[in-house]
Structure 1
């Protein structure tokens, strides 16, 4: 288990981005987002076209929903489920975390190893700047 951050930080900042490595050595990004009094962790990609939610500026959210910046699909931050837009009837891939009694969040997923805070671009060279928006939702 690897300590990540605190629930307080996730709620104050609106999200928290970190990079992991899977069992095959591939890197991926994970977002921590506020959920009720705690937090949930999801792979940082929309299920529709694998667009990144957090491109280094935080996760776009409104009323407890994660918003895909490209097409505007909205995912419940607690369940990861989307009931609208291009990604309707899909659920974000979850990453196992544990929220301790003191509010500290730890990575508790045997499939991933913590690489570092921030996105892949922050931890290694390369990457992209994220999608150009075609969403009808303004931020």
Structure 2
């Protein structure tokens, strides 16, 4: 992987939502990831529910959070922000895929050797990000 770059600042990560960005894995596939705050700490997860992994937690405007947990709006699954563990829903017991990040001062950098930072924001794929159901008509 290429040298890691800063992702964003602490100030840019919302207290009750997520900061969305893109990474490239070792196979060259671009994926979405989210930064989330839990107390004074910052955690990073791939942006995909573990029930159906094509469903994104953050659809482009920040993931819903309730009581310190990320919520999948499609299935009602809840994931702890600090561990990635699913505590409720159809994938209970599963865990989000973690990416390593480091905070130095106010700067958050991707330090996971398996991924390379691509840029901020969602993957531009033309999908309708307003859908809240997994059922297509």
Q: Name which of 22, 31, 44 aligns with 1:19.
A: 22
Q: Mind listing any 5+ residue stretches in structure 2 that lack a counterpart?
A: none
| CA distance in structure 2 between the partners assigned to 1:71 and 1:27 by the alignment | 24
Q: Which has the higher helix share?
A: 1
* Cα shift readout 1:11-49 (whole Å, capped 9, x = no counterpart): 357311101111111110000011111210000000001
Q: Return the match for 2:122 from 114, 119, 122.
A: 119
Report the TM-score when normalising by structure 2: 0.87
TM value normalised by structure 1: 0.86
Looking at structure 2, the residues matched to 97 and 84 of structure 1 have their Cα atoms a distance apart, in angstroms, of 26
Give 5+ residue unaligned stretches, structure 1: none
Q: Which residue of 2 aligns with 1:46?
A: 49
1:108 pairs with 2:98: no
CA distance, structure 1, for counterparts of residue 112 and residue 51 of structure 2: 24
Shift, 1:128, TM fit? 1.9
Distance in 1 (CA, whole Å) between partners of 2:81 and 2:15 is 15
Q: Secondary structure at the match of 2:52?
A: coil
CA drift of 1:83 comes to 1.7
**Does 2:61 match 1:75?**
no
Tell me the distance in 2 between the aligned counterparts of 1:2 and 1:44: 19
- Other-structure match for 2:128: 129
- The whole-number CA distance in structure 1 between the counterparts of 2:114 and 2:60 is 24
Helix, strand or coil at the partner of 1:80: coil
